[in-house]
Amino acid sequence: MIACPGCGGRNEPTAEVCQWCARPFVPVQQRWHPPTWLVPAALVTTGVIGLAMVAVVAVAAWSAIPKDGTVFPSVGLGERVVEEPIAPESEPTVVPSVTSIPEATATPERTPTATPTPSRAEFVRIANTGGAGAFIRAEPRSNAQGIRAYRDGTVLKVVGQDVPAGGQVWRNVEDQQGNRGWTPDAYLLPSPTGF
């Protein structure tokens, strides 16, 4: 007889459900344990494979060693070895040492060059429009697309060379937001202040 873990009722040993509370019996899962002979066999197999790998590396290293007495030069990191053919039974030649230091040569002193002083930014303000204001335009001409319009007194920064076009001089200017364009010089006066 087996007791139900839920209600404690006694049931037949082959019952899959409790006849008193209808609780299903969950079979107890057995944990698998390897046979005792399998553990030593696995260790032996691992050891044999490890020894075989060491033997292969040792044989490869042994076969790479020259048997005729040739000595390989030691090479540092970043150096390149250039093999040169050696004539049989030739007289020894003197090879210059890699570590020789060439004679120091005097480097001529550099004369300091004058660095140009940066020119002070030029600021102008919109004026002489009769209160109508003025555009900065995409190109230096009267019928070019207007980028933005500004009222009298608005301060702009001069950022390029003046361009004569259409009977007037156009100034390349920029506003505080970084918008650049062209405005006729007739609508600009020097500004004592910047942005």
The HSE-up count of residue 44 (CA atoms within 13 Å, CB side) is 5
CATH superfamily of the 123-190 domain = SH3 Domains (2.30.30.40)
Locate 167 and state its tokens: 């009977």
- Please list, in sequence order, all residues whose beta carbon lies within 8 angstroms of the beta carbon of residue 13, skipping any fewer than 6 positions away: 1, 2
Enumerate the domain spans of the chain.
Answer: 123-190
pLDDT in tens for each of the 195 residues of the chain? 888 888 888 888 888 888 888 888 876 555 666 666 666 666 667 777 878 888 888 777 777 666 666 555 555 565 565 556 555 565 656 665 555 555 656 566 666 565 555 568 899 999 999 888 999 999 999 899 999 999 999 999 999 999 999 899 999 999 999 999 999 999 999 998 887
Buried b (16+ CB within 10 A) or exposed e, 88-126: eeeeeeeeeeeeeeeeeeeeeeeeeeeeeeeeeeebbbb
Coil, strand or helix at 131: coil
